[in-house]
């Protein structure tokens, strides 16, 4: 998070309060919205503090801490919560739920809590229940669990077994635990809860994350006015916000450029953001790709069939080759998907790809003549 993003954070108290009300009533919410649009900031900086102020124990779990093992990531997050409960911060007194017994020696006595009666199971599928049970033993508070980027748990080979284990654990704890499942892939997240044979079918209520729009742009315009005594056109700001896919980070980068260059308009600052000569995540991403990967990304951005005859002929011409095999393009697509540049369009059955980052798509559109082969 940039300095400006922190300083100009836009609070959404009504949205945060609505989510906290639901989860403290032990509901389970599936909150979906595009990546980098502010979901995690909302959850960590507003929902968790509000839940804590209402007497709950809020636990945040990053499900793609280990993308190869999301359930392992969940177990790790639960273990960290147990460690925090077991070893309180300096100056904080720990409230034990475990029974206390006295040991006497030479006229003195010492109170100690009972050790855990069960060993932790080796199976990661059973461990999630054991860890959650131990958290509930350690605290009397209601518990809020936030599983961020939860759709990652649906991508692995053992996804159904992991989700079945999680459902069993959460069902047993439903009287004390509310849950928010957050994800950036709407289709994957909704499939996890709406597919008839899925272990989590009907287990959470879906809610679309409201994107930052006019209210956020108005907030930024007021902050801009306070900082510069100049006006920021809200209509132009909304147009830029749309271009960057409603991501506050890139939008505020554009605003920061206007602050630093008083004669610039927002459109000029946006052009600077998309300049291939500028050191940005998008220019670095492009120039770190192989020539074949660049060609494949360009084809996806232009919504062409990457392995079609016309695309293969175009790729061969751009690469200076006599021909390009479909298998070569396929390998390039696999590499682009792995590094997050593209994602499958699951609404279309997963047969087509789309550029994952709206800013990258805008960057490619703004630079149509970039050489594929250096």
CA 68 to chain centre: 16
Q: What confidence score (pLDDT) does residue 197 get?
A: 85
Same domain, 146 and 82: yes
179 Cβ contact list (under 8 Å, min separation 6): 23, 28, 29, 144, 145, 146, 147, 170, 204
Residue 97 lies in a domain: no
Q: In the chain, what's the furthest Cα-to-Cα distance? A: 93
Same domain? 160 vs 250: no
Which residues touch 293 (CB under 8 Å, ≥6 apart)? Answer: 332, 335, 336, 341
Helix (H) or strand (E) holding 232, with range, is: none
Is 373 domain-assigned? Answer: no
Alpha-carbon span 133 to 140, nearest angstrom: 12
Residue 295 to residue 276: CA distance in whole angstroms:
16
- Domain match, 199 and 326 both: no
267 and 290 co-located in one domain: no
* pTM of the predicted model as reported, rounded to 2 decimal places: 0.84
269 and 130 both lie in a single domain: no
Answer whether 24's CB lies under 8 Å from 58's CB.
Answer: no
Element (H, E) at 282: helix 281-287
Task: Calculate helix-pair angle for 124-138, 70-86, nearest 10 degrees.
Answer: 20
Tokens of 212: 């930052």
Domain co-membership, 168 together with 68: yes
Per-residue model confidence (pLDDT) at position 90:
46
Number of Cβ within 10 Å of residue 112's Cβ equals: 11
Q: What is the pLDDT of residue 2?
A: 58
Supply the CATH number for residue 122's domain. 3.40.50.300
Do 236 and 360 fall into the same domain?
A: no
According to the model, what pLDDT value does residue 66 have?
A: 87
List the pLDDT tens digit at each of the 374 positions of the chain: 457 888 899 999 999 999 999 999 999 999 999 989 999 999 999 999 999 999 999 999 999 888 889 999 999 999 999 999 987 554 444 444 544 545 444 455 555 555 555 678 889 999 999 999 999 999 999 999 999 999 888 788 889 999 999 999 999 999 999 999 999 877 778 788 888 888 999 999 999 999 999 999 999 999 999 999 999 999 999 999 999 999 999 999 999 999 999 999 999 999 999 999 999 999 999 999 999 999 999 999 999 999 999 999 999 999 999 999 999 999 999 999 988 899 887 655 557 899 999 999 999 999 999 999 87
DSSP run (H or E) holding 295? helix 291-301
Angstrom distance (rounded) from CA 362 to CA 342: 14
pLDDT of residue 31: 95
In a domain, 59, yes or no: yes
Helices 266-273 and 248-260: crossing angle in degrees, nearest 10, is 120
Cα 199–Cα 205–Cα 206 angle in degrees, nearest 5: 100
Of 208, 228, 261, the last residue of a domain is 208
Q: Running DSSP on this structure, what letter comes out for residue 346?
A: G
Query: Which residue among 164, 193, 208 closes a domain?
Result: 208
End residue of a domain, out of 186, 208, 230: 208
Please name the residue that has the structure tokens 């080979």. Answer: 157
Are 357 and 245 in contact by the 8 Å Cβ rule? The answer is: yes
- Residue 32 vs residues 171, 190, 210: alpha-carbon distances, Å: 22, 8, 9
Helix (H) or strand (E) holding 160: helix 159-172
> How many separate domains does the chain show?
3
Q: Provide the domain limits for residue 359.
A: 281-366
C-alpha dist (Å) from residue 55 to 40, 81, 101, 142:
21, 16, 28, 7
Question: pLDDT tens digits for 256-315?
Answer: 999 999 999 999 999 999 999 999 999 999 999 999 999 999 999 999 999 999 999 999
pLDDT of residue 3: 72
pLDDT tens per residue, range 28-61: 999 999 989 999 999 999 999 999 999 999 999 9
The answer to whether residues 255 and 326 belong to one domain is no
- pLDDT of 152 reads 84
Same domain, 184 and 255: no
What is the Cα–Cα distance from 359 to 252, expressed in whole angstroms? 13
Do 257 and 131 belong together in one domain?
no
């Amino acid at each position: 998070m940039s300095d400006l993003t922190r300083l100009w954070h836009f609070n959404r108290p009504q949205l945060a309060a609505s989510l906290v009300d639901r989860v403290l009533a032990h509901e389970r919410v599936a909150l979906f919205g595009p990546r980098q649009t502010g979901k995690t900031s909302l959850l960590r900086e507003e929902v968790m503090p509000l839940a804590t102020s209402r007497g709950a124990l809020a636990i945040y779990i990053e499900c793609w801490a280990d993308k190869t093992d999301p359930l392992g990531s969940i177990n790790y997050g639960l273990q960290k919560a147990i460690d925090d409960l077991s070893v309180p911060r300096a100056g904080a007194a720990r409230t034990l739920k475990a029974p206390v017994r006295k040991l006497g020696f030479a006229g003195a006595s010492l109170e100690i809590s009972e050790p855990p009666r069960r060993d932790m199971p080796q199976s990661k599928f059973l461990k999630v229940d054991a860890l959650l049970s131990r958290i509930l033993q350690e605290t009397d508070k209601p518990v809020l669990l936030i599983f961020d980027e939860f759709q990652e748990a649906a991508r692995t080979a053992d996804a159904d077994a992991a989700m079945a284990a999680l459902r069993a654990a959460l069902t047993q704890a439903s009287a004390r635990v509310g849950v928010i499942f957050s994800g950036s892939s709407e289709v994957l997240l909704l499939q996890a809860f709406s597919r008839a044979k899925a272990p989590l079918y009907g287990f959470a209520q879906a809610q679309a994350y409201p994107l930052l729009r006019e209210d956020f742009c108005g907030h930024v315009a007021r902050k801009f006015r306070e900082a510069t005594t100049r006006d920021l056109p809200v209509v132009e700001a909304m147009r830029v916000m749309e271009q960057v896919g409603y991501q506050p980070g890139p939008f505020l980068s554009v605003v920061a450029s206007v602050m630093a260059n008083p004669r610039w308009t927002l459109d000029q600052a946006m052009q600077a953001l998309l300049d291939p000569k500028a050191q940005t995540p998008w220019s670095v991403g492009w120039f770190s790709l192989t020539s074949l990967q660049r060609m494949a990304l360009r084809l996806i951005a232009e919504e062409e069939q990457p392995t079609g005859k016309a695309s293969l002929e175009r790729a061969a011409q751009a690469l200076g080759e006599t021909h390009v095999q479909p298998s070569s393009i396929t390998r390039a697509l696999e590499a682009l998907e792995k590094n997050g540049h593209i994602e499958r369009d699951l609404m279309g059955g997963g047969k087509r790809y789309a550029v994952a980052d709206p800013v990258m798509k805008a960057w490619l559109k703004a630079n149509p003549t970039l050489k594929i082969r250096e």
